[in-house]
């Protein structure tokens, strides 16, 4: 059973930056595909970015390309999301997710989830 714990959320003005982290409990974290999703009030959970278990390939939603960077440190069992040039529409709860298998943008295909961390961007 993989346990995921996010941190690093907070409030920032538009144009600012935040770095989210996700700590995984399991030593086999390295074999999991990892991803970040987000969910704003009244909206469906949406895909943000994912990274293969090797860390060699990353995927991004169009609305974050060029602004967000996903990375992982297998030695430390951590997953990060560097968010730059934040916009008010980026305001949401950001969730870390893991699955055994190939990358996917479908939240229903992820088996393990963190509790989420709030990101608020003011204009």
Tell which residue, 28, 43, 18, 37, has the closest CA to residue 114: 37
Sorted by sequence, the CB contacts under 8 Å of residue 103 that are 6+ apart come out as 33, 35, 50, 51, 52, 57, 59
Per-residue pLDDT for 12 more than 90? Answer: yes
Mean pLDDT, residues 107-112 taken together: 92
Residues 46-56 pLDDT 10s: 999 999 988 88
CA dist., res. 8 & res. 37, Å (int): 15
State yes or no: pLDDT of 57 exceeds 70: yes
Query: What pLDDT, on a 0 to 100 scale, did the predictor assign at position 42?
Result: 94
């Amino acid at each position: 059973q993989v346990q995921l714990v996010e941190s690093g959320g907070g409030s920032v003005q538009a144009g600012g930056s935040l770095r989210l982290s996700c700590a995984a409990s399991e030593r086999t974290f390295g074999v999991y595909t990892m991803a970040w999703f987000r969910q704003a009030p009244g909206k469906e959970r949406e895909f943000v970015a994912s990274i293969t278990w090797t860390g060699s390939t990353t995927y991004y939603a169009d609305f974050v390309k060029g602004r967000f960077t996903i990375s992982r440190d297998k030695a430390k069992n951590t997953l990060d999301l560097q968010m730059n040039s934040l916009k008010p529409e980026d305001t949401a709860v950001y969730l870390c997710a893991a699955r055994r298998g190939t990358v996917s943008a479908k939240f229903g295909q992820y088996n393990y989830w963190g509790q989420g961390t709030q990101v608020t961007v003011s204009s």
